[in-house]
């Protein structure tokens, strides 16, 4: 199992970024894919038309999102924590993804950088 931590800078306010990560219609706008999301702990979610699935664990409006991502019959949960920090250029998002299966690590890291945050950064830089 491996862990991945990285910071991303998004040119939008923390409340706006938080909504983009938790409000189903906005998620579908920036991903261009079907999504299922409720801003409620203990609800299941799916992103990118079921490419990413898991359980929402915790929310703190404008500041924190914590989820468990499913990877088959994995013994220890894979936990994603997104912390949103105000930044002079918008929002600094601190990503911490723990317990990533070794065989999925490279794909997951690439997915975070290119697909997930790449799409979100591009969405807000289009203005």
7-54-12-120 Cα dihedral, nearest 10 degrees: 80
Q: What pLDDT, on a 0 to 100 scale, did the predictor assign at position 76?
A: 83
Q: What CATH code is carried by the domain that includes residue 120?
A: 3.30.530.20
What pLDDT score does 74 carry? 72
Instruction: Please report the pLDDT score of residue 115 as a whole number.
Output: 93
Q: What is the pLDDT of residue 5?
A: 98
Closest residue by Cα to residue 52 from 119, 95, 111, 124: 111
Q: Which domain holds residue 76?
A: 2-125
Domain total for the chain?
A: 1
pLDDT of residue 119: 94
Strands (E), 22-107: 44-47, 52-60, 64-69, 78-87, 90-100
pLDDT-flagged residues of the chain (< 70): 126-127
* The pLDDT value given to residue 71: 83
> Residue 125 has what pLDDT?
87
Q: What is the pLDDT of residue 127?
A: 52
């Amino acid at each position: 199992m491996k862990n991945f931590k990285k910071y991303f800078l998004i040119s939008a306010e923390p409340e706006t970024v938080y909504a983009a990560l938790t409000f189903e219609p906005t998620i579908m706008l920036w991903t261009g894919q079907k999504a299922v999301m409720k801003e409620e702990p203990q609800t299941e979610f799916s992103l990118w038309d079921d490419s990413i699935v898991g359980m929402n664990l915790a929310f703190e409006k404008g500041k924190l999102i914590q989820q468990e991502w499913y990877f088959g019959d994995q013994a220890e949960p894979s936990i994603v924590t997104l912390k949103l920090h105000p930044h002079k250029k918008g929002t600094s998002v601190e990503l911490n993804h723990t317990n990533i299966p070794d065989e999925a690590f490279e794909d997951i890291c690439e997915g975070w950088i290119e697909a997930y945050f790449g799409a979100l950064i591009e969405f807000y830089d289009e203005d």
